[in-house]
Chain A
Amino acid sequence: MAILLMGAATYATRIGGFLLIRRFKPGPFLEAWFGHVPGAVFAALVAPSVWQAGLAGWAGAAIGFGAMCWTGQFLPSLVLSVLAFFLARHFL
């Protein structure tokens, strides 16, 4: 039930642009806002978990973030992040 509602919400945005473009053109503020939403959602989502994980959390987050920005490779960055978290938890 929840899944179907979320699916409907997603599909609404997928066809919404197609249907709306005939009537209305988004202004620069709306356009910028849409672009900023995904990053902001994830920043808000991870913040408490990283905070609670303490020092190891900071290490894992910094390594994972840096590796992804640097290499752009999803899986290696995640592996490095988990490794950094594991090592920091044991040795710090």
Chain B
Amino acid sequence: MLPILPAAVAFGLVYGVAAAEKGMSALEIALSCMFIFAGASQLVAMELWREPLPIVTMVLSVFVINLRHLLMSATVAPWFANSPRLATFASLFVLTDESWGVAVADRRGGRSDAAFLLGAGATLWVVWLGASTAGHALGDLMRGFDPDLFAWLITGFFVVLLAGFWRGPGDLLPWLLAAATALATVQVLPGTWFVLIGALAGSLAGAWLHVRRR
């Protein structure tokens, strides 16, 4: 559990700084951390944040990014066979990639306690909320410092996060296709369509290649 906390603090701080730069208020950031509580989704929402809010694109993007949670919550379902409903739904509310990862590792290590997942998730929730709002305060202090460099802070943040998703050479083609489709879409369609269209093209191609290879 401990190894994931420093990463969450760093991630939260940078998210807060970047979101402040994008014009999100401290309240909007805090609410995102409390209710969405999903790093990748909040980043996408932040990047799409503009007037007027593209709500449909935002909700759809967040939904497809989180489809992977379906698999994760399905794998932990048997752990909750004897747990009260409220504890089960609370645990699932704070389910994240990280807490799921450490909980599954803990389980493989021979221990079996569904409460570990809840504890890890809840700890992360508090740390994430604190770090992000602190980052927002920091971002306010640094406002107007060097806009180009700030813009890159956000893009570089996404690039590093993308690299963290790297699972092997099988990812290369889907990612290139997603990027190329997004670049082409930006030329012809307004707004934020490029995210959804590029992501669908890349991920469907990836799944198709994956299934065909077997």
Contact = CB atoms under 8 A, between A and B. Distances in A.
Count class of interface residues, chain B: 35 or more
B181 A28 contact: no
Interface in B161-214: 161-167, 171, 174-176, 178-183, 186, 194-204, 206-208, 210-211, 214
Contact of B175 (A5, A40, A89): A40
Contacts, number: 281
A86 B156 CA distance: 12
Interface residues of A, number: 66
A9 B56 CA distance: 11
B174 A78 contact: no
Interface in A2-59: 2-7, 9-18, 20-22, 26, 28-51, 53, 56-57
A40 B59 CA distance: 17
Contacts of A92: none
Contacts of A32: 206-207, 210-211
A89 B74 CA distance: 47
Contacts of B157: 78
Interface of B: 7, 10-11, 14, 28, 31-32, 34-38, 40-41, 44-45, 47, 53, 55, 58-59, 61-77, 80, 88-89, 92-93, 95, 148-149, 151-167, 171, 174-176, 178-183, 186, 194-204, 206-208, 210-211, 214
Interface of A: 1-7, 9-18, 20-22, 26, 28-51, 53, 56-57, 60-61, 64-69, 72, 74-75, 77-78, 81-82, 85-86, 89
* A-B residue pairs, 6 tightest by C-beta: A44-B198, A7-B35, A40-B202, A17-B73, A36-B206, A68-B163
